[in-house]
Structure 1
Amino acid sequence: MEKGLTHTSCLTVKESDTAIALGSGDMPVLATPRMMALMENAAMLAVAGSLQEGETTVGGHIESSHLCPTPVGKAVEATARLTKVDGRKLTFEIEAYCDGTLLGKGSHLRFIVNREKFLGRL
């Protein structure tokens, strides 16, 4: 796995993505947890093609600002870039934008796991 892998995930904000719908607030704007889930999705997909058969990644930590509101109907793009590889531990820089305006920026930690072994721990 090499540093620099990137992916951008996109969504158009729907009512189901709002703070009201997710219970994280009472405003009809993009919920912070939904923005962070989009960032996490970008990180997962950035490295998906570099994993071995039977492997996947799971989130371990995510930290991000959420700087401005985004109304229903607007397009949001979240980009993740792999910045560090330490064995099975992967560190990403994450950012989200709407119409060129920075919505959030932070970091995300993922771990490479064997899918069967991971699910076997349930």
Structure 2
Amino acid sequence: MEKGLTHTSKTTVNTNNTARAMGSGDLEVFATPALIALMENAAKQAVEAALPEGSTTVGAQIQTSHIKPSALGEEVTATAVLEEIDGRKLTFRLTASDSQGTIGEGTHIRYIVDICRFMSKLK
């Protein structure tokens, strides 16, 4: 795995991912929880092909700003760039935008885990 791996995830603002629908606000605009999920998806996808078989990544920390609303029908993109690798710890730079420009940015930490070992902790 190398620094610089990147991925862009996309979604369209619809009645299912608004602040009102998700319970995070009262307005029919793109919800912050939906933005965070889109950003996490971009980070997950950025490194997926480079992981050893039987491994995945799990989110551990996200620091993000949601600085501008996105209306119903807008396409929102989130891009994650792998900036740091420290053993199993991966740090990503995140940016999100719609047709009006940047709507959010932040950093995200994910850890590489062995799927079987991770899931066995739930028993």
Using structure 1 for the length normalisation, give the TM-score.
0.98
> Structure 1 residues 3, 100: CA separation in 2 closer, same or farther (over 3 Å shift)?
farther
Whole-Å Cα distance in 2 between the matches of residues 19 and 12 of structure 1?
14
Q: Which runs of 5+ in 2 are unaligned?
A: none
Percentage identity across aligned positions? 52
Number of corresponding residues: 122
Counterpart in 1 of 2:91?
A: 91
Q: Deviations over 1:32-81 (max 9, x none)?
A: 01001100000000000000000000000001111111011110000000
Q: 1:100 to 1:71 in 2, by over 3 A?
A: closer
Length-normalised TM-score, structure 2: 0.98
Corresponding position of 1:13 = 13
Structure 2 counterpart of 1:72: 72
Let me know the Cα RMSD of the aligned residues.
0.6
Structure 1: runs of 5 or more not aligned: none
After the TM superposition, which segments of 4 or more aligned residues of structure 1 sit over 3 Å from their partners? none
Q: CA shift at 1:100, angstroms?
A: 5.0
d(CA) in 2 for partners of 1:23 and 1:118? 30
